[in-house]
Structure 1
Amino acid sequence: MLFQLTRRLLILLASLAVASVLVFGFMAVLPGDPAQVALGVNATPELLARTRHEFGLDRPLVVRYLDWIGGLLTGDFGRSYVTGERIGPSLVDRYGVTLWLVGAGMLVAVLIAVPAGVLAAVRHRRISGAVISGLSQLGVAVPGFLAGIVLVQVFAVSLGLVPSGGWTPPVVDPVEFLLGLILPALSLGLVQGAVLTRYVRSAVLDVLREDYIRTARAKGLTPFRALLRHGLRNAAVPVVTVLGLQLTTLLVGAVVVERVFVIPGLGSLLLDAVGNRDLLVVQDVVMVLVLTVLLVNFLVDVLYAVLNPRLRQVG
């Protein structure tokens, strides 16, 4: 098990190194001059040269890359090309907001998908199972932003039960925070829950066909009780993998949902930075998102091995 963890950790570090080179290289070859963007079209050549020197844009690419990586490792994300303010504090605050949103969306997806998927599998030959499968297929076709708009219209505008947008930190007002999180979390979670329901149904159906489930049923257990006692652990193995993959989709979906609900998360920061051509902010945000996805994949690999002991023996 220790060897497996070490190997996966080395893969994580290597992936981070490659990703950092790709992110930096992509930003470096983009057309445009950050100094020109910061100063405007009427800036003099002398002022442009001085600003490029202050930004470090006149140094070789290798030196700039090493300075950037060294700053990330020490918690220094640099200064914005547009505002001149430090990027780190804003990025940390926005990252926390996005984590709340993505975590709540994932919780909604799991709370929907696990019971619905299990029920659809256990009753796959009945009308109720077919209805659940049909609703999950319909949910997959609904974009997250459209779900958000519909939810706002129904629950915020028509019924007035929850806020239509905005963000209240949990330390300021926990109740207002939870109320403001409901609709964005549902917008993310309903669509992902529909996707995950199909995977849960498929995994449970595979387990129900196993010999040990047939033996348990031969002893008098119903399909649901046999699954609950003997099969859920094995059914969880492929579902955990899908959950890790869905995090990427949730992060992408959060970019749009944050715009719909006016939430100051990483998605909003990224879109604002792209619009202002604040390339260092874009570079830092993308790298943080890459790190998040790779860390989740690492944790999923570890959890996969915990749920499936046979994988611990694989070299």
Structure 2
Amino acid sequence: MIVRLVQRIAILLASLAVSSVLVFAFMAVLPGDPARVALGTSASDSAVAQLRQEFGLDRPLVAQYLSWVRGLVTFAPGNSYISHAPIGPQLADRLQVTLWLVGTGMVIACLLALPLGTLMAVRHRKPSGLVLSALSQVGVAIPAFLAGILLITVFAVGLGWLPANGWTPPDQDPVLFLKQLVMPALSLGIVQAAVVTRYVRSAVLDVLREDYLRTARAKGLRPTRALLRHGLRNAAVPVVTVLALQLATLLVGSVVIERVFVIPGLGSLLLDSVANRDLIVVQDVVMIIAMAVLLVNFLVDMVYLLIDPRLRGGGS
């Protein structure tokens, strides 16, 4: 168990190092001078050179990379090329917003997908199971931004129950915060639930065909009790993998949803920074998203060890 934990931590650290190199290299090869962009095309060469020196852009790439990584590790990523404002507070505020959105969307996806997928598997030959399967197919075909537009049309424009856009921190007005969170979280959660439901159905169907479950039913356990007691734990392993992948999809999908609902999260900051060519902010946001995805994969590996005792033994 300890050996596997150390292995997973080593893989996580190596993946973070490789990701940081790739992100930095990608930004470094982009055409254009960040200092020239910040000052405008009419700026003098001396002003551009002074700004390059101020931000350390005149140093070798290796020195720039090490300085950038040091800033991320010490939570002091420096200042924006465009506004000259500290990046750290912006990232902290925007990350909090995105975590609320993605976290709530994932909770909604799980609350819908796990019971519905199990029900679809148990009743896969009955009309109710076929109807749920057809509805999940429709959900898979609908992108999150379209689901958001439909929700705005119905609940904000048509019924007037919820605000169409905006964001209020929970400590300022909890009620308004929840009202503004409902539709963007549903936009992400419903679409992801449709995807996860298919995998839950497949995993549970595989378990239902196993010999040990037939044996449990033959010994007198009712089918539902046999599934709950012996089957769902085994079905959970592939489902956890899918949930991890869908969480990464939620992080990427939140970029568009934040634009649709005018939410000041990491996605909006990323798009604004790309438009302004504020490359240092783009670099930081992309790295944070990469770190989040890698951390989720690491946590999934830890969950595997808890779910499947066979993985706690020796070996690779």
Q: What TM-score comes out, normalization by structure 2 length? A: 0.98
SS in 1 for 2:220: coil
For residue 55 of structure 1, what is the aligned residue in structure 2? 55
AA aligned to 2:202 is S
- 1:163 and 1:180 in contact (8 A); partners too: yes
What is the RMSD computed on CA atoms of the aligned residues? 0.8
For residue 237 of structure 1, what is the aligned residue in structure 2? 237
Q: Does 1:127 pair with 2:127?
A: yes
Matches within 5 A, 1:35-74: 35-74=35-74
For residue 115 of structure 2, what is the aligned residue in structure 1? 115
Matches within 5 A, 1:11-30: 11-30=11-30
Matches within 5 A, 1:233-312: 233-312=233-312
Q: Matches of 1:187 and 1:10 in 2, distance apart?
A: 36
Q: Matches of 1:88 and 1:314 in 2, distance apart?
A: 42
Q: Does 1:2 pair with 2:2?
A: yes
SS in 2 for 1:213: helix
Q: Alpha-carbon deviation of 1:314?
A: 4.3
Question: What are the Cα deviations for residues 102-148 of structure 1, in whole angstroms up to 9, with x where unaligned?
Answer: 00000110011011100000001111111111111111010100000
Q: Alpha-carbon deviation of 1:210?
A: 1.3
Matches within 5 A, 1:138-217: 138-217=138-217
Segments of structure 2 that go 5 or more residues without pairing to the other structure are: none
Q: Matches of 2:255 and 2:101 in 1, distance apart?
A: 10
Question: What are the Cα deviations for residues 173-211 of structure 1, in whole angstroms up to 9, with x where unaligned?
Answer: 111111111100110011100000000001101111112
Question: What are the Cα deviations for residues 26-55 of structure 1, in whole angstroms up to 9, with x where unaligned?
Answer: 100100111111111110111111111111
Q: Alpha-carbon deviation of 1:161?
A: 1.1
For residue 83 of structure 1, what is the aligned residue in structure 2? 83
Q: Matches of 1:68 and 1:214 in 2, distance apart?
A: 58
- 1:142 and 1:191 in contact (8 A); partners too: yes
Q: Matches of 2:239 and 2:165 in 1, distance apart?
A: 32
Q: Matches of 2:244 and 2:65 in 1, distance apart?
A: 30
- 1:208 and 1:223 in contact (8 A); partners too: no
- 1:117 and 1:200 in contact (8 A); partners too: yes
Paired positions, count: 315
Question: What are the Cα deviations for residues 64-99 of structure 1, in whole angstroms up to 9, with x where unaligned?
Answer: 011111111111111000000000000011001000
- 1:259 and 1:268 in contact (8 A); partners too: yes
Question: What are the Cα deviations for residues 204-245 of structure 1, in whole angstroms up to 9, with x where unaligned?
Answer: 011111122112222333322211122111111111111111
- 1:241 and 1:304 in contact (8 A); partners too: no
Q: Matches of 2:140 and 2:17 in 1, distance apart?
A: 35
Over the matched positions of the two proteins, sequence identity in percent amounts to 69
